[in-house]
Structures are given as structure tokens and as C-alpha cells.
Chain A
Amino acid sequence: MSSPSLPEETTVLTEELTADVLVVGGGPAATWAAVKAAESGASVVLADKGWCGSSGATAAAGTGVWYVPPHPEAREAAMASREGLGGHLADRRWMARVLDQTWENMHEVASVSRYPFPVDERGEQLRRGLQGPEYMRRMRVRVQRAGVRILDHSPVLELLLDAHGAVAGAAGHRRQADRPFRVRAGAVVLATGGCAFLSRALGCDVNTGDGYLMAAEAGAAMSGMEFSNAYAIAPEFTSVTKTAYYSFATFHHADGSVVEGAGSTRGRSVIARTLLAEGRVLARLDRADEAQRRAMRLGQANFFLPFDRLGIDPFTDLFPVTLLAEGTVRGTGGVRITGDDCATDVPGLYAAGDAATRELICGGFTGGGSHNAAWAMSSGTWAGRGAAAFARALGEGAHRRRLTPAGGVGLRPTGTPGAADGHREVTEAVRREVLPYDKNLLRDGAVLGPALERLHDVWAVARAGLRGHGKDAMRARRAAAMTATARWMYTAALAREETRGMHKRLDRPHQDDPGSRHRLVTGGLDTTWSVPETGAALPVGATAAVAAGVAR
């Protein structure tokens, strides 16, 4: 019945849904947000780009959890341990509430989801870690049992705003049904993960900064985007990142001699430099004894997949390693949080997990692993409840609001639309600027400046001509989101003219205290900006960009 002369979208009916709360994403933060919003009495739709249960950085991996018993000394030690590393940008009050909330949620993982935690010799459950597949499979079940409507394989493409600029829903495309959808909602939680630039780091290819872009288009700001240069160790040409286990490794040049100073924590930059100079670094996990080797296999089975399948014994053989970009997935930057309920700068919009900044508990030093896991379940809980309360306060009128789409780049080009596969070129151009170790990991103002200029050019071209239809809209928006994320990263990295946390500037090797001991708020679409967080009003760029988007 469809005529070849008509664009497909005019013949395909949009699936229209209504909910009190829309949760975007399908990982830990999203599932906790959906469960807690539903438990607050809200009707909830969860829309995930992939499949809720398998998508995201957690599902494919295993993670420690920042789970500390509520004993004052233990809590104090946990909070104090990384304050200096984080450059003193974390907030004790937030750390304390995340530790409290995580304690509670992990109890629910045990009692409600009946997660099979290991037990010690006294029969006590050990709750310091979660195996990704098992955890997320059970979270999916819990979401379903809470009565949440799950839309799998349904990338959200843009937010919808009401006449006052509040977020009132979202629109996307159900890729397996090849059909557009729209959700009217009282409030929206973004739990879309961080951005790892399609680096193939384990489970991270769905994390492309989509939520950052959508939030910015609605008028939200980012925070901590300079803390975005995380890289993980993996066997060369594979995806399996479990950097912690490389604390048992020695690192070697191609000729077998030891790379002095290389290591999984202090010496990652040495590994990067050796890879840049020599093209090859070999590793061997020869510092693990027999008991540790057995424990590693039990602790994380998937760590051994590449070795078992390639016929490598990682404890006795030298094998080549690489560093895979994890961007803000293990960095700490993300959407700025403005309230205890994980509200953002925009009414009706909440952020959780890696989509939100993790500076509140980590400062500028990687939130990777246990802190991120604790943050995901805590912020998800608060965002879900906060969004439910916001929707409830709106009352019956919530779903009668006139909605305007906020999406720009990749959806509504300002110039002549380019080729259908234009997203490829944009994606590669961005990756050329953010993946290389000598640009993003080993940072230098003289390198970052020109890289940012090139990224601005990529944005300008994308803004004018990038457009994807139907299933390809997700690819266009993904490319656009990565472009925006990269520009915020380098705008912030240039604005922070010092070394702090994971942000290390070769040309500014010192920590500037107290002069630069503040967070950086970053944002902007056609023009990016980064300013110290002072509590004062943000640059007008953010709101002006929203107005422009709405006017179109």
C-alpha cells in the first residue's frame, strides 16, 4: 500500500503511549528508576536502545559495589579514601547518602530479586560485587513485575517540551518493528549511560552520549566533562576490559624486556606511551599465585573468554594488550544534577547513572567499578521517585500539554540534507579526535585546542546536513551525540588549566589549589562553553539554544 513517491514516515503510524514517568535507558540506573517510580504509584514506560537486561556497561561485565556497612569508622574511611584522588571535588553529604541508599538497595537485590550472592564460611552473604548478566536479568524481571511497560530496541531520539520548556515526553523509533513511537510523560529520567565512542570496550557500544545531547537540547548543562579520559586494558583486538586484574600483570616490550613503570593504576600512561612509540605492549599475569588464579576465574568468568578462545594462558604466556577508551563511562562527567532527587537544570528532566555526573561522590577520579555501581542504584532510585513526584504534582493536565520536539542535529538539518550514511563520516571524524592516547589520555593544551576546532567543524557540517530516517535516525543521532560529547570534553579540558583527578595536562602538571578547586559546568550546542560552578545563573547559551530549537 505504500507508494514509492511518498517518504516512508508518512505511511507508518506512530505508536502513541502515555505514562507518568518515562525512563530512557535499560541498565542498572534505568531499571532502579523504573522500579522506584512504579513503587511510588506512577505509571512507567522504560524505553531502551538495546534490550533491557543485556545492554549497557554492567550487563556484560561484573562489577564491585561501593557497599560499606553502616559503621561510622568504616563509612568515614570509605569516604576519606579517595577524596584527594578526586581532587576534592566530591561532596561528603552525597557520599553518605549514596552509601546509605546502596546499603538499602543491595538488601533488596538479595531479598526481592533473590540474587545468589556468595556466602562466607559463617553463612554470611558477601555483597561487595555483582555479576552483570545475573544482576541485570533479575532487574529486568523486577521491572516487569512492577508493572512497567518495557520497550526494547526502541532508541529514544529526542525529548518533547511543553510550552514552558519543561520536559514532557520523548520520541523515538522502534527499530525491530521499524515504527516511530512517542511517549507523553509527566517527567523523564535519562539513564542512557556515558559515552565511550564505539571503542568496543565491553558492553559500551550502546553508550554514545545520547542522553547528554538530548538533555542539552532541552537546556540542561553538563558537569565534570573534563574527567572523560578513562582507558581500560584489554587483550589486543578484543573487547574484554577488566583492568583491575592487570594489577597482577607485568608489562613487556616486544623484545620481552620489562616496561619500567607500566601498571594498571599508576602506569597506564606508560603503557600508552609505549604503545604510541613501539606499537606493541605485552602483558603476563605472572604476579598471581595459584589461589589468586582460581579466584580470578570464579570472580569474573568472562575475563578468560579471549584467552580460552585464542589458546593463550595469560598466567604464563605473553600476550599483546591495548587500551580501549571508556570516555565518561569510567570518567565522572555527565548531566549536571541540581537537587537531591537527581533533578537537572530543566523542569521535568532527571538524570541517573553514567548519564549524570558522578563528581558528587567521585570528584575528578574515575567512578569506574564500585562507585559507579553504587551511584547507578542510588541515583536511579532518587530520580525515579523524583520524577514520579514531579508527575504527580502536575495532575491530570500533564497529558494535555502541547508538545514541541527539541531535537536538532541529525534530525532537522539547517541546510541541505547530506547522504543517508553521513553518520559514518561524522563518527570517524569524532573518533579520530577522542580515541588517540596522545590527544585524550596524554592531554596537552596545544593538542586539545586544534582538536576542538576540528570537532567544531564536524559539528557545523553535521548540524547543516546530517539526517537519518527511520532505523537510521538512531545512527545519525548517535554520531551527533558523540560529536557534542567530544566538544564538551575538550572545552572543559581546556578550561581546566591544571592537573586534577584523572584530567592530567602535560602542559599544566600541577594541581592548582585552591584556585581551581571547583567543578566546571559545561554546555552549549552550536557554541560550547565551560564555566566554574558558582551557584550563579548559567550562561544564556543554554536557554537561547532551547529557544532556537523550539522556534524551528
Chain B
Amino acid sequence: MIEVVSAERCIGCDKCVLACPTDVFDRGTDGVPVIARQDDCQTCFMCEAYCPVDALFVAPETRPLPDGSALRDEARLTDAGLLGSYRAGIGWGRGRTPGARLAVGPDLPRATPAPPPVKPSTT
């Protein structure tokens, strides 16, 4: 779930307010978006992708983290290089190669499921 909005990095563009498909943010009076409905966050990471200044962090857990969690601590997230890591991963942002250009996954060793047995004829 969304856990961090960095007031220091935020430029008040409100892109996250728009791009969040489940309407989690409200516009903040000081320009910094407020996490108004965290319960509605579906942990899709789209707000991070659309934030032009890497001010947002979505923890991978689909339930809120307790106070004091490392993944709510902006300084530690910055040190670990996690702020903005999704946007970098998909190659969005100036000077980056779009991830789509490189997205060639492995061939899958896919086992095809067997169809169910046909009912033995009773006649």
C-alpha cells in the first residue's frame, strides 16, 4: 500500500491524485497530496510510475504497515535506493530506455494442464 509521500520531493503537480485508479489521494492544502483513503489502495504501483520526481513509495504489502516499519521511513528508503525504483524499472523518465523496448521475457517451461477424463459411457 501507499505509505510515503515525500513532502521534500513533491512538486505539487497532483499527477498522483489523477493517476491513482482507486482515488486514494486528496489534494493537500499545502500542495502535497494527502493519503486520504489508504484502505482503497490496491498496491498497483501506478502512482509511483506517474510521479515525475519519485516522491511516492508503495510498500508491497496489501495491508497497512505498523508505525516504525523501515518501509515507511523516507530516509531509509532513499538510502536503499527504493524511492523511484519502479519508475526506473520500467524505464520512464528522461534519458532512460523504455522498459517496453527491452521486455523480452524467458520462454516458459509451461506444462499444459491435462483435460479432465471423459465420463465413461453408461449405455
Interface residues of A (CB under 8 A from B): 49-51, 53-56, 59-60, 62, 84-85, 87, 115-118, 126, 129-131, 133-135, 152-153, 175-176, 200, 202-206, 235, 237-240, 244-245, 247-248, 263, 265-266, 287-288, 291-292, 295-296, 298-302, 304-306, 308-310, 498-500, 504, 509-513, 515
For A266, give its contact among B20, B105, B109, B111 (CB under 8 Å): B111
Contact B61 A238 (CB under 8 A): yes
Contact A295 B60 (CB under 8 A): no
For A239, give its contact among B44, B71, B85, B89 (CB under 8 Å): B44
Q: For the complex, give the distance between the alpha carbons of A513 and B63 in Å.
A: 45
Q: For the complex, give the distance between the alpha carbons of A60 and B63 in Å.
A: 18
Contact A266 B117 (CB under 8 A): no
For A54, give its contact among B21, B89, B90, B111 (CB under 8 Å): B21
For A131, give its contact among B103, B110, B111, B112 (CB under 8 Å): B103
Min CB–CB distance A482 → chain B (angstroms): 15
Contact B46 A60 (CB under 8 A): yes
Contact A302 B86 (CB under 8 A): yes
A56, A62, A116, A296 pick with most chain B CB within 10 angstroms: A116
1/0 per residue B80-117: CB within 8 Å of A? 00100110011010000011111111101111111111
B23, B82, B105 pick with most chain A CB within 10 angstroms: B105
Q: Is the interface of B mostly helix, strand, loop or mixed?
A: loop
Contact A511 B23 (CB under 8 A): no
Min CB–CB distance A537 → chain B (angstroms): 30
Residues of chain B lying within 8 A (CB to CB) of residue A117: 100-101
Contact A59 B21 (CB under 8 A): yes
Contact B118 A118 (CB under 8 A): no
Question: Cβ of B6 < 8 Å from any Cβ of A?
Answer: no
Question: Cβ of B53 < 8 Å from any Cβ of A?
Answer: no
Question: Cβ of B42 < 8 Å from any Cβ of A?
Answer: yes
Residues of chain B lying within 8 A (CB to CB) of residue A510: 116-120
For A295, give its contact among B23, B106, B113 (CB under 8 Å): B106
Contact A203 B42 (CB under 8 A): yes
Min CB–CB distance B52 → chain A (angstroms): 13
Given contact pairs A301-B86, A499-B116, enumerate 8 new A-B contacts (beta carbons under 8 Å). Answer: A56-B21, A85-B112, A134-B99, A200-B62, A204-B42, A238-B60, A298-B104, A309-B82
Given A239-B60, A509-B116; A304-B89 close (CB under 8 Å): yes
Contact A298 B116 (CB under 8 A): no
Contact B60 A134 (CB under 8 A): no
Residues of chain B lying within 8 A (CB to CB) of residue A135: 100
Contact B105 A129 (CB under 8 A): yes
Q: For the complex, give the distance between the alpha carbons of A504 and B63 in Å.
A: 31
In the complex formed, the residue of B with least CB distance to A515 is B119
Contact B62 A118 (CB under 8 A): no
Min CB–CB distance B48 → chain A (angstroms): 9
Contact B60 A500 (CB under 8 A): no
Residues of chain A lying within 8 A (CB to CB) of residue B46: 54, 59-60, 133, 203
Residues of chain B lying within 8 A (CB to CB) of residue A263: 111
Residues of chain B lying within 8 A (CB to CB) of residue A245: 108
Residues of chain A lying within 8 A (CB to CB) of residue B40: 205
Contact B119 A85 (CB under 8 A): no
Given A118-B101, A175-B23, A299-B103; A152-B18 close (CB under 8 Å): yes
Residues of chain B lying within 8 A (CB to CB) of residue A266: 111, 113-114
Q: For the complex, give the distance between the alpha carbons of A248 and B71 in Å.
A: 28
Min CB–CB distance B33 → chain A (angstroms): 12
Q: For the complex, give the distance between the alpha carbons of A495 and B63 in Å.
A: 37
A59, A175, A305, A509 pick with most chain B CB within 10 angstroms: A305
Contact B116 A153 (CB under 8 A): no
Residues of chain A lying within 8 A (CB to CB) of residue B44: 54, 59-60, 202-203, 205, 239
Question: Cβ of B49 < 8 Å from any Cβ of A?
Answer: yes
Contact A133 B111 (CB under 8 A): no
Min CB–CB distance B97 → chain A (angstroms): 8
Residues of chain A lying within 8 A (CB to CB) of residue B20: 50-51, 54
Contact B119 A247 (CB under 8 A): no
Min CB–CB distance A223 → chain B (angstroms): 21
8 Å CB interface, B55-85 against A? 59-63, 71, 82, 85
Residues of chain A lying within 8 A (CB to CB) of residue B50: 54
Given A118-B103, A131-B103, A296-B106; A305-B45 close (CB under 8 Å): yes
Contact A302 B45 (CB under 8 A): yes
Residues of chain B lying within 8 A (CB to CB) of residue A115: 100
Residues of chain B lying within 8 A (CB to CB) of residue A118: 100-104
For A50, give its contact among B21, B105, B114, B117 (CB under 8 Å): B21
In the complex formed, the residue of B with least CB distance to A516 is B119
Min CB–CB distance A320 → chain B (angstroms): 12
Contact A51 B18 (CB under 8 A): yes
Contact B105 A300 (CB under 8 A): yes
Q: For the complex, give the distance between the alpha carbons of A190 and B90 in Å.
A: 30
Contact B102 A200 (CB under 8 A): no
Min CB–CB distance A507 → chain B (angstroms): 13
Q: For the complex, give the distance between the alpha carbons of A203 and B58 in Å.
A: 14
